[in-house]
A and B are shown apart, each in its own frame.
Chain A
Amino acid sequence: AIQLTQSPSSLSASVGDRVTITCRASQGISSALAWYQQKPGKAPKLLIYDASSLESGVPSRFSGSGSGTDFTLTISSLQPEDFATYYCQQFNNYPLTFGGGTKVEIK
């Protein structure tokens, strides 16, 4: 199975900060990567698919980039509602797999 390693596992940031989260795949997955946001007690929500395509209705401060093995999720200006855990997910191979998550906390 393809392993996805997210870094950092957690970070503290302030409102207005630029935040970058990294996801590294154990083998090349082209652009077959999605990003989700999960708030406590809630289901995940799709943010990005195909590594860089913004899901409809998701604020433009979220962006994704990368291909092959290295990917990033960037929040250009962190808002109070963005404090959550973020997961990457690959869909290049079965079994579909997720990264371990990055928790974004208030500084």
Chain B
Amino acid sequence: QVQLVQSGAEVKKPGASVKVSCKASGYTFTGYYMHWVRQAPGQGLEWMGWINPNSGGTNYAQKFQGWVTMTRDTSISTAYMELSRLRSDDTAVYYCARDSGYNWNYDWFDPWGQGTLVTVSS
């Protein structure tokens, strides 16, 4: 079955960077865009951007441009999201979520990874 498995929880100091991985299985990795969405504790959902695993092309929300980098390694069917210059308000659960469209971005998501808690604290 389609599955997205993310890397484990991270604790980082302000100003550091974090890189979260998302390993896909059960489908053709290069056929579906991968999105990243975050959720601060007790808060709603915030879309960060997507990567096209086939071309490596990206589309970041303006808020995160210059600050987030999404990459992929097709040899191991894994997508990555790196966030730099972390602040305390970046503390959140970060989700990868597969786009529902094959070879096209429909921009709705199914399934989602289990989430990775990133805690930013001095």
A residues adjacent to B (C-beta < 8 A): 32, 34, 36, 43-46, 49, 55, 87, 89, 91, 94-101
Chain B stretch 108-122: residues in CB contact (< 8 A) with chain A: 108-115
Q: Which residue of A lies closest to B108 (CB)?
A: A34
User: By the criterion CB–CB under 8 Å, are A89 and B108 in contact?
Assistant: yes
Interface positions of B from 63 to 116, Cβ below 8 Å from A: 63, 95, 97, 100, 106-115
Q: Do A46 and B109 touch across chains, with their CB atoms under 8 A apart?
A: yes
CA distance A55 to B114 in the complex (A): 20
Taking CB as reference atom, which chain B residue is nearest A32? B107
- Chain B residues lying within 8 Å of A45, measured Cβ to Cβ, are 110-112
Question: Which A residues touch B97, using CB under 8 A?
Answer: 43-44
Contact call B62/A95, Cβ cutoff below 8 A = yes
Q: How far is the CB of B1 from chain A (nearest CB, A)?
A: 11
| B108-A91 in contact (CB<8A) | yes
Partner of A99, one of B35, B44, B59, B95: B44
Q: Do B107 and A96 touch (CB < 8 A)?
A: yes
Say yes or no: A94-B61 contact (C-beta < 8 A), given A43-B95, A100-B44: yes
User: Which B residues form the contact surface with A (CB < 8 A)?
Assistant: 35, 44-47, 59, 61-63, 95, 97, 100, 106-115
A98 and B108 within 8 A (CB): no
A71 to chain B, nearest CB (A): 14
18 A-B pairs besides A46-B100, A96-B61, A97-B47 with CB distance below 8 A are A34-B109, A43-B112, A43-B114, A43-B115, A44-B97, A44-B109, A44-B112, A45-B110, A46-B111, A49-B100, A49-B108, A87-B44, A87-B45, A89-B108, A91-B106, A91-B107, A96-B107, A98-B47
